[in-house]
Structure 1
Amino acid sequence: MSPKRIGIVGYGHLGQYLTNAVLDHPNLELAFVWNRSLQALEGKFDDQYICQNLEQCTQFSADLIVEVAHPIISKQYGPLFLSTADYLVGSPTALADQQVEDSLRSAAINHGLYVPAGAFWGGEDILKMADRGSLKGLKVTMKKHPSCFKLEGNLKGVNARVATEAVTLYDGPVRGLCPLAPNNVNTMAGAAMAAHNLGFDKVRGCLIADPSLRDWHIVEVEVLGPKVAGRDFQVHTVRRNPADPGAVTGTATNASFLSSLVRAGGKGPGVHLC
């Protein structure tokens, strides 16, 4: 069985981790690396691995293209990626834009669009419920130290004013939150994709800045299912991911994303959770 050829889009902390992991993995092979600043790649790779322009991605014979750069990449290049390979969207907040989601779903006719589970515990079970239409409600709450948030729009700078007590920054549809915290709520975007019968408008996201959380990122998932014997089916999980103040993602994120990368690909057209 030939190694799976991986194209990596983005060479920040996560991109560097994934690139090294691919180079060390017996069943993976590096197809290409792209970064907005090519200077970051100079002297680290042979020219054959450097993609200077993403329009050229089809020339590298990748089996799976992995985006770990910025949500705008999926809007600009996602359909092109899917024309030549499976595509793992590492910034699924991009999919909160309905046009982007629609364009990628339409493009995933020969290859698969993969959404990483990330910190979204129980995603496969929720996907199964969504497939059956039995998922009635889903709420994802993320609690982090105020310094861990990178916020935009009308939330920009609000976290910096959180001093002594926990403050709820947002509580509402995930679609409205994604553009306000595109670096922080990829887990929620993944949840909205898994819970496809509810989608970005009916999955609720709650963002809480808590100055007491100096060592953890906390993700709570609340699931509401059908009535069983006259009572609502409910699941409530709490995930505590070790993290330092100021860290956008927890320390377990890199390994979790690598697991998603290894699992992604080969499932055919359509949208898949990994």
Structure 2
Amino acid sequence: MILIEGTSKVAFGEGTLTELELTIYQKKQKSPIEYRYDSVNTLLFELYMRTQIMESAKELSKAGVYFADFKKTLCNPMYWHLTNQGRFQLNSGCAPQDAIRDIFTNGSSYAFECSMAVVVVLYKALLESIDPRQFDILFADLLLFDWHSNRKLHLIDRTYNEEAVIGDVLYFENPDFVPSVPWWKGENVVLMENDFYYGHGHGLGIISGEEVIKVLNKNRMLGSIKSAFLTDRYVHPDFSYFAEFQHRLREKPIIAKVGDWIYVRKSWIFNKTW
């Protein structure tokens, strides 16, 4: 259940939410778990950014970035310094927003593994969701690696994957991977629409969960009977934190509170009824 300022009674006017935003909203609204928001604008920001995470995943899947383990990681030296640990450190004097965009427009200059891919997707979605000038301030010393090492993303851990919605980052574990080939240990993925997933590793692209498991199961120790599986844990950025930095020119909805109800509609809709 979604609670905004203590009430779950929210009505959106026609056209206020996109079809995808409405799908996300309805799943969270029907959940037995309470999702609390301090304002309608915070909720709307989350819905918008989740769609941007999905769109960024689609873009990265088509960008021509190669898969590589940390020892063979590549980046464009115009924007990044490649550290000994396979991390991308932003070059001095480069704008973070330009460096992130370069990954999507000059993908053949990059190679990294699946955990860095989901981090890149999240940063790109943030860039599309907040004021770009704020993005440059927040991530002035940007360092790309796996999502465990990116505290500035303010990731929130969840532990019940049935609650995951579009834009969440999940993990498929392969318990019997071959130790000499550690990149088959598992796959970090972004949840897309219609229960599909985006995974950068091993050329997966956008596929179903069954297909992710099938690929991982083909790459485990000889004689193993332990199947790969989707773990319960998943993460997503703290949307309420980043909502404070959204673009000042973004259209603000009309919000009216009448009794226990909150009514929301786009500001340009004047002749429609609720």
Bin for the TM-score computed over the shorter chain? under 0.3
Where is the strand percentage greater, Structure 1 or Structure 2? 1
Structure of greater Rg: 2
- TM-score computed with the length of structure 2 as normaliser: 0.26
- TM-score computed with the length of structure 1 as normaliser: 0.26
